[in-house]
Chains A and B, each alone.
Chain A
Amino acid sequence: MEWIQQLVNGISLGSIYALIALGYTMVYGIIKLINFAHGDVFMIGSFIGFYAIAKWELGFFPALLLAMLVCAIFGVLIERIAYKRLRNATRIAALITAIGVSLLIEYTTIFFRGAQPAAYPEVFKNKSLDIFGVQISSTSILILSVAVVLMILLQFIVHKTKIGKAMRAVSHDADAARLMGINVDNTISATFAIGSALAGAAGVIFGVYYTKIDPLMGVIPGVKAFIAAVLGGIGIIPGAMVGGMLLGVVESLVSALGFSLWRDAAAFVILILILIFRPSGIFGKNAREKV
């Protein structure tokens, strides 16, 4: 029975990774940039949620929505200020800028509030539900349901709305999309807004689940979410969801086997194996290299 419990823990953790990975994968799909600052947007979302719940005494759902809104605006600002000028720059220049933005967000946060961690207030009474002899905490069910609802919403936006159609068109071929009258800049901004909002939501539920947040908390989940995105096939939305879940489950299993200190290494080993043997990911198609 303990195995099933670990599996549930893994899925809860994995759904957080999946929410962050969605932002990575969407941004990569559309402008081929690894947005290193994405993990820090996640951190900002977590802190917004913290202040909303602890200081302004909002409930969980208003805090979640507020964090998503602020993160969406924040993501668009990052894109407009830093990344927009780099559309035609080399990949290395874009990557270094992303690293710079990430460090800037982290240390500006530390500068203003200090590096000490904050304890997330308890928003729900944590009850254990007993389902067929398996103890499942209500928080992990909550996390999972929030994540699933957001993912369904994202699928709806991407496949059924006009902006989603524009996003798919731009990620396919930005120049052709521009010729068809799509406003490419606005579409890219919308992608950043949606991805960052998801990261913000992930930040709030991370806080509720793990109850401890600090300004450098975004680094490791950010990198792991990127691994999840690569695992599922970068640029592919269902891939990010599956990759995130899979990574979460693997990490929980590694911990359950008693190697919890090696948990982070497991994620990197997965990354390296997937990059070497199947760089296009589980759902990816092989792209041929052209001159």
Chain B
Amino acid sequence: MKKSKVFWGYAVIALVIYAVVQLLITTEVIDLYYKNMLITMCINIMLAVSLHIVIGVTGQFSIGHAGFLAVGAYVSAIITTKLMLPFPLAILLGAAAAAVAGLIVGIPTLRLKGDYLAIATLGFAEIIRIIFLNTDYVGGAAGMQVKYLSNWTYAFFGVVLTILVISNFTNSRHGRACISIREDEIAADAMGINTTYYKVVAFAIGSFFAGLAGAIFAHNFYIIQPTTFGFLKSFDILIYVVLGGLGSLSGSVIAAIFLTVVSTYLANFPETRMIIYSLVLIIVMLYRPTGLMGTKEITQLFKFGKKGGTK
């Protein structure tokens, strides 16, 4: 009873936000600059949440998320520009391709732990990038022309879908299995949880939504290039999750919103932006290693009843 009430509450809030922003965009109160910032913000939220399920929920340290973003971006771009198929189909297929890539990468590498896993995912992301770099069909190093198809509707409902699926996953039986892997993998194994299976599932879901974000990302600019999807993009996504709190979905959303605004204003000073980012990363890790929110959700701060909103 209570759960469904809370759900409909959130659904109404989401629709109101969507309608208000859409109205402001159509009446041109929000100009192109801010509209672009909002779409970028949505993409970053999707990326942050999709990495959150891998690092925050399952505790598997992946720093190759940009690779899946690249798969989603390129596959969807091929579908719209080369095969001339509609954009929603491209989003779906881009995300599915990224999920398949996640499975291919995840099955061998998720047997590794900690530092080794981090390096292996980094390596796979680089391999994906180099493959696109050397494929003439997608334009190689020069990049690929893409149609401008993304808009606020796609971006916003992408975010809603991502958050809905991932928060429901986290609160399900499977999500609890993933959390137990994060807390203690050996103990989880001993309790009969198939740790490899859950790690791969979480990784594939994370990749799926990274691919979804990639599809919208690709169609938000007129061109995509392999250099966009290098180490730095992966670290950008990592910063959202780390700053927000390892294990807090709302934390990573807030961090993504905040850092998108900051980096939009610092867009003309890329060095300053990176210096601030890296200092934030170091200082947060030295003084608050669990991130700003820890594993708490923002809804727990306003106490609805005993245990808080979404629990």
Contacts and interface: CB of A to CB of B under 8 A. Distances in A.
Interface of A: 32, 34, 82, 85-86, 89-97, 99-104, 106-108, 110-111, 219, 223, 226-227, 230, 261-262, 264-265, 268-269, 271-272, 275-276, 279, 289, 291
The interface residues of chain B, by DSSP majority, are classed as helix
B285 A265 contact: no
Interface string B48-86: 000000010000010100000000000000000000000
A289 B195 CA distance: 16
A271 B119 contact: yes
Interface in B14-65: 55, 61, 63
Given A96-B242, A261-B133, 4 more contacts: A95-B115, A107-B275, A264-B130, A268-B130
A33 to B, nearest CB: 8
Contact of B115 (A34, A100, A261): A34
A100 B123 contact: no
A95 B281 CA distance: 11
Contacts of A261: 130, 133-134
A224 B242 CA distance: 26
B289 A93 contact: yes
A91 B119 contact: no
B113 to A, nearest CB: 9
Interface of B: 55, 61, 63, 108-109, 111-112, 114-116, 118-120, 122-124, 126-127, 130-131, 133-134, 186, 231, 235, 238, 242, 246, 271-272, 274-275, 277-282, 285-286, 289
A268 B124 contact: yes
Contact of A104 (B108, B238, B279): B279
A111 B235 CA distance: 19
Contact of B130 (A99, A111, A262): A262
Nearest to A115: B271
Given A86-B286, A261-B133, A96 B281 contact: yes
Contacts of A108: 275
Contacts of A276: 108-109, 111-112
A103 B242 CA distance: 15
Contacts of A264: 126, 130
7 contacts: A89-B285, A95-B61, A102-B278, A265-B131, A271-B120, A272-B123, A279-B116
A104 B127 contact: no
A90 B289 contact: yes
A104 B130 contact: no
A272 B279 contact: no
Contacts of B242: 96
Contacts of A110: 271
Contacts of A94: 285
Nearest to B140: A261
A176 B190 CA distance: 31
A268 B67 CA distance: 14
B282 A275 contact: no
B279 A268 contact: no
B285 A96 contact: yes
A107 B279 CA distance: 11
Contact of A85 (B63, B119, B120, B286): B286
Nearest to B234: A99
B271 A91 contact: no
A179 to B, nearest CB: 27
Given A100-B285, A101-B278, A111-B272, A275 B116 contact: yes
